[in-house]
Copies of this chain bind each other. A is one copy, B any other.
Amino acid sequence: MIVVMKRSASQQDIDSMIQHVESLGMKPVVLTGTERTVIAAIGDERVAGVSSLESGPGVDEVHPILAPYKLASRELQPESSVIRAGSLTVGNGHVGVMAGPCSVENEEQIVATAKAVKAAGASALRGGAFKPRTSPYSFQGLKEEGLKLLATARAETGLAVVTEVVATEDVDIVAEYADVLQIGARNMQNYRLLEAVGKTSRPVLLKRGPSATVDEWLLAAEYILDGGNPDVMLCERGIRTFEAHTRFTLPLASAPYVQQRTHLPVVMDPSHGTGHTALVPAMARASIAAGADGIIVEVHPSPDHAMSDGYQSLNFQQFEDMMTECRRIAAAMDRKLGSDA
């Protein structure tokens, strides 16, 4: 922790800060510059109360030195984690491909989609049964019925099922049907829910909130890891910026950046990250070229009749074409795409 004092700070302010640092169990080192005094606090800065140092008299700024997360840190675990769930492998040279509709609508829709995405090389089926929707007047998902239809689709195709859980009270039933539990962007900081999925044995796909910093995202993962579940995939789905021609801005550099900081795999979501069907294939290719460990893509038999997210869904042919392109990019990266052996 580096505490920068104001130029106007008195010796009393400096002495007070020295004592405060010591009272937190850290060792203060005073650096007297020509214009400012800086107090370096050596020790574990992750203790409660450290952030309040900024309120001390004469303090200008406080800079933390250590990352606030531990279990997620690559410093703790240098080797990259690999996540496996049925047909899905993410990491270790495998680019996982999770594809399917935003919402499960009916058996015909989900089974047809599962077959189509499997044929094109996907390694998991995504589909929402419990849907968090911005408007209370929008379709809220088929709930348990949707989970059963996903299980049917898995039985028909062998594809692992990735589906969202939105509330602690649903964790058990979703974990019963699903292979991977998805935490949506809106719930990235729903800590009770993170604690609940941390107690299950299912891998978790943790989406980044649209205004979350990378530290906040990794701390959300830390809640799950700290709960005892080591199988967390991070999913970047775009941040909110002034750029209005896409629904969100997909900051692809977060793949290589986050991979430096954590051993957890990073999955990209070009569907939510762009919000437009026409932009999805380019961003899927780019994700793989940037080194992402997986992609998750919305696919629907007939996007312009979808009950949700049609504007960003691919139809079967578009998905197949995208996979053909992505396979070439994956090969150029010495990676295997989806179900490729």
> Residues of A at under 8 Å CB distance from B?
2, 4, 7, 20, 29, 31-36, 38, 40, 42-44, 46, 48-49, 51-57, 63, 65-66, 68-69, 75, 132-139, 166-169, 186-187, 189-192, 209-211, 213-216, 219, 222-223, 226, 239-246, 249-257, 260, 273-274, 276-279, 282-283, 285-291, 303-311, 313, 325, 328-329, 331-333
Contact = CB atoms under 8 A, between A and B. Distances in A.
Query: Across chains A and B, which 9 residue pairs bring their CB atoms closest together, nearest first?
Result: A52-B310, A211-B211, A289-B289, A186-B189, A54-B311, A328-B332, A55-B304, A211-B240, A286-B290
Contact of A245 (B214, B249, B279): B214
B48 A138 contact: yes
Contact of A190 (B69, B187, B304, B333): B187
A279 B256 contact: yes
A303 B75 CA distance: 26
A131 to B, nearest CB: 9
A110 to B, nearest CB: 17
Contacts of A311: 51-52, 54-55
Contacts of A135: 46, 68-69, 219, 222
B31 A226 contact: no
A285 B279 contact: no
B257 A251 contact: no
